[in-house]
Amino acid sequence: MCYLPSPMAAPTRLRADAEPVKGSGILARFFAGVIARRWLVVALYAALLPPAAFYAAKVQQDNSIDRLIVATDPDVIATRAFERVFGEGEFALLLAEAPDPLAPAVVARVDEIEQALAGIDHVAVNSTLSIYRRARAGFEPTPENLAAFRAFVSGTDLFKKQGLVGDRYLAIGLILDVAGTTERRAALAAIEQAIAKYRAHPAPFERLTELGAPWVDQYLDETQQEAWKYFVLFLAFVVALNVVLYRSVATLLAFLITLAVCLAFSVGIIGLLGGTLTIVSPMVPMTILVTATATLVYLHSRFVDRPPDREVGAHQVFAYVNKFVACTASIFATAVGFAALAVSDIRPIREMGAWVALGLAAVWVITLTLFPALQAILRTPTGQERRTFGPWIQRFATWLPRATYRWRWPLVASSLVLSALGAVALFGLPGVVTPMKILTNPVAYMNPRAPLYLDIQRLQPQIPGLSVTQVWLTGSLGSMSEPAVLNGIDAFQNALEKDPDVGSVVGPTTILRMIRYLSGQGDTWPTDPAQVEEAAAQLEGLVGQEPLLQRFVQPHELAQAQLTVVSRKPEYEDLTRLADGIRAAWGETVARIPALKSLELRIVGLAPLHAKMAQGLVPTLVESFVLTVAIIFAAFFVVFRSGTARLMAMIPSIFAILVMFLVMRLAGMQLNIATILIASTVLGTSENDQIHFFYHFLEGRKDGDVEHALTHTLLVAGRAILFATMINAGGFLAFGFAELPPIAQFGMLAALAFALSMIADFTALPAALWILFREKPRDAAGR
C-alpha cells in the first residue's frame, strides 16, 4: 500500500543492540543483524570490491564467429587436421574497381599495392599479377610489360572463373595464414596500414574495396567493443526510474552502489575463471543488472509501504522477511533459465549460462546484505516520510479483479489463440506453414547500412562468391601425381563447376593448367596421355618449391590434395545441398574413372562449420527451454505447494514468448545467434513477476476469497511488478541501439516479451484464476 506522509512519523532505526522483531524467527534475526552491523557489512564489500574490479578488468572481448565453433565436433576436428596439412587459410579480396581494370595505370597501381603488401606476416598474395610475376621472374610496369600482361590475362578464362579479374575490377587475393583472433587482428591491421594511402586516394581506381570473411569478423569484433553504451543507457534509465518512483537521492545512491557491486562481482567471476566475452556476451552483465534492479525494486517497494504505527527498523526487517522467499525463488528461476544453457554444445553459449547463474548467486547475496545496510546508513525514506509514485495502485487494485472477472472468458480465449498462433509461427504447421529458419550467414548479422555490407551486396553478382568450402582428398603415397588420378580430379572439378550455385572451383589441375597456359600449351586439361604424364611430372617437380601449389597438394608425400569450392549461397540449407551435390558428383566421377576409388573424400572448411554452428543453436533453444520449464516447475513446487499455482504461474511467460515469435514471423524476422536465446532468457527473467504475484496471492487466500487475494496481491506487488517489468524491458531495450541487427532485435523482442508478460499478469492470469476457482466477486455472489 502507499501511505501518505505523516508529520508524527519520525523514522527510527535499529540500534546496534536492538532486539530482533519478536517472534519472527531466524530470518528476522539475520536481517536485524545485517542492519545492526551495517558498517561492518559495507566495510566487507569495500574490501572485496578492488579484487573483484581487478578480475573484471581482465575480461577480454572476442566477437569472431569462430568463437562459437564446438571444438569437439567431428567436422571441426577434421577441419583442424586439414589445416595442419594445407595451412590455416582465411581468404579475402582487395578489389581495384575501374572501368578498364587492365588499363596500364590501374595495373601499375595494383603492382604498387602488392609490393606494399609483400612481407606482411601470415599474409600471402595470389593474383593475376603475382602469377605473371612469378612466371616471368619479375615485373616492371613498362609499356611493353603492361601490354604483355593484358594479353596474358585476356587470353584465358581461368582467372575470371577464379574471381581474380572481372569486367570492372582487378582482384588481389589474400590468404591469411592465421590461428585465431589475435593473429587475424594483427594481419588485418598491417594490411590496412599498407593500403591506407591507396584507399584515401584511389585514383586511377574508382575505389579500392575490401571483401571477405576476415573483414566481416573484424567488423563484428569492432562493433561489439562499443557494448558499454548499452550500460550507459541502462544507468540513465535506472536514475530516471528512481527519481520518478522513489523521489529520493539517498535511495538512488543505495541503488547505484548496490548495482555497481553486483556488476563488479559478476564480471569479476568471469575474469577469475579466465573467461572471454563473445558476440552474445553483452547479455550477461545486462541480465545481472536487470535482475538485480528488479529485485531491489521489489525489496524497496515493500520497504516504503510502511504502516504509520510501525517504526522504520522493525518494518525494514519485516519487509525483507516478507520478500525473502519470493526474491530468492525469482533469482533462482532466472539463474536456472540461464544455467539450462549448459545443454548447448557451443562453449560460449554454455559459458554464458554458467556466468549468469554464478553472477545471480552473487546478486542474491549482495541485494539481501549490502542493500539493507545501505538503506540503514543512508536513511532512505519510506512512504511515511516522502510521498512515492503510485497512489493510483489502490484504485487499480479495487478495479482490476472485477474487470478480469467480467471479461474472463474473452481474456483467456484470446490468450490461448494468440499462443497457438505463436507456436505455429515458431514450429510451423505441416503443409501450411514452414518452421522459422535460423540465419547462418555472418554477413546477415551486419548492419545493412555498414559500408562493408553495402560493398558485399553490390559486388555479389560480379564475384564468384564469399563462402569457401574445401574438398579434401586423401590417398596413398604419391597417388596425387598419378596421371589417372589427375584426370579424375579434373573431371570432378568440371562436374562441380556445373552447379549454378558454385562460383568457382580451384584445385591441383587448375594450377597445372595455368602452368601449361604460361608455356603456350593452352589453358585446358590435356587429353593426350603423354601430355598428362608431363603435367604429372611438373607437379612432382614444382610442389616442393611453389607455395601456391602446396595449398592444393601435400608436398613430399603427394598423398593428399584439396579443391576449394567458392559458392554464392552461405545459408545452412544451401551448404547442405552443396555438400550433397559434391558427394553426388564424386560418386558419378568415380564410377567413370576407377582410379579415384582408392581416394577418400571429406568436406571441410569454415563456411560449413559456421553454418553447422548456427544450426546447432536450435537444440539449444528447445532443450534449454524444456529444461528451464522443468526446473522452474520444480522450484514452484517448493515455493507453492498448490499444484494449481505451479501451472498457472507459467501462463504469462509462455504467452509472452509465443506471441513474441508470432510478432517475429509477421515482421519477417528470423532466428539468429541472439534471438535463439530469447525463450530461455524471457522465461527465466519474467518468472520473477509471477513468483511475486503468486506468493502474495496465496498469502491473501489464507484468509479471503479470490477477489480479496487479487486485491491484496496488487496492493503489495502490483506497483513493483509494473516497475520491475519496466526495468526488464528498459534494460534489454538498450540493446535496440546496437549496431548489429541480431543484438538489436534481441533487445527489442525481449522488451516486447516482458511487456506482454506483464499484460498477461494483469489480465489473462487473474481471469484464469476466476475460472479455475469458480468464484464470483462479493456483490455478484450475494455476499
Given pLDDT bands bounded at 50, 70 and 90, which one contains residue 10? very low
Give residue for cell 553459449.
349
Share of residues in the chain with pLDDT > 90 (%):
42
3-state secondary structure of 696: helix
More confident residue, 382 or 363: 363
| Whole-number Å distance between alpha carbons of 341 and 625 | 8
More confident residue, 24 or 23: 24
> What is the Cβ-side half-sphere exposure of residue 115, based on CA atoms within 13 angstroms?
11
Tally Cβ neighbours within 10 Å of residue 240. 11
Pairing mode, strands 276-277 and 502-506: unpaired
- The backbone region for 251, taken as left when phi is positive above 0, alpha when psi lies in -120 to 50, beta otherwise, is alpha
Sign of CA dihedral 5, 10, 13, 18: negative
| Whole-number Å distance between alpha carbons of 17 and 22 | 14
Which tens digits make up the pLDDT trace of 50-67? 999 999 999 887 766 666
- pLDDT for residue 624: 65
Given pLDDT bands bounded at 50, 70 and 90, which one contains residue 20? very low
- pLDDT for residue 69: 65
- pLDDT for residue 225: 62
- pLDDT for residue 598: 93
410-440 exposure pattern, b = at least 16 Cβ within 10 A, e = fewer: ebbeebeebbebbbbbbeeeeeeeeebebbb
Query: Which pairs from 322-328 meet CB under 8 Å and 24+ separation?
Result: 323/298, 323/299, 323/692, 324/27, 324/368, 325/639, 325/695, 326/298, 326/639, 326/691, 326/692, 326/695, 326/696, 327/295, 327/298, 327/299, 327/364, 327/367, 327/368, 328/364
More confident residue, 449 or 607: 449
In 368-507, alpha helices (H) = 370-378, 393-406, 408-427, 451-459, 483-497
Give the 3-state secondary structure of 561-578. EEEEEEECCCCHHHHHHH
- The backbone region for 14, taken as left when phi is positive above 0, alpha when psi lies in -120 to 50, beta otherwise, is beta
| Whole-number Å distance between alpha carbons of 174 and 551 | 13
3-state secondary structure of 753: helix
| Whole-number Å distance between alpha carbons of 266 and 272 | 10
- pLDDT for residue 640: 64
- C-alpha dist (Å) from residue 561 to 83, 131, 396, 401, 427: 12, 21, 74, 74, 42
Q: How does the average pLDDT of the chain come out, rounded?
A: 85
| Whole-number Å distance between alpha carbons of 455 and 767 | 54
3-state secondary structure of 181: helix
| Whole-number Å distance between alpha carbons of 334 and 323 | 16
Average pLDDT over residues 400-415: 94
Angle CA(250)–CA(256)–CA(257) in degrees, nearest 5? Answer: 90
What is the distance of C-alpha 751 from the center of its chain? 16
- pLDDT for residue 506: 92
Q: What residues form DSSP beta bridges with 600?
A: 474
Indicate if the pLDDT at residue 713 is higher than 70. yes
Given pLDDT bands bounded at 50, 70 and 90, which one contains residue 389? low
Strand locations in 652-719, DSSP E? none
- pLDDT for residue 674: 78
- pLDDT for residue 233: 81
Given pLDDT bands bounded at 50, 70 and 90, which one contains residue 618? low
3-state secondary structure of 472: strand
Q: Contact at 8 Å (CB) between 92 and 137? A: no
Indicate if the pLDDT at residue 510 is higher than 70. yes
| Whole-number Å distance between alpha carbons of 522 and 539 | 17
Indicate if the pLDDT at residue 5 is higher than 60. no
Indicate if the pLDDT at residue 456 is higher than 80. yes
Which of 92, 94, 90, 91 has the alpha carbon at shortest distance from 209? 94
Average pLDDT over residues 450-458: 91
| Whole-number Å distance between alpha carbons of 562 and 559 | 11
Sheet holding 560-567, edge to edge: 502-506, 560-567, 467-474, 600-604
Q: Contact at 8 Å (CB) between 68 and 613? A: yes
| Whole-number Å distance between alpha carbons of 565 and 161 | 11
The contacts of residue 575 (CB under 8 Å, 6+ apart) are 440, 467, 469, 567, 569, 607, 608, 611
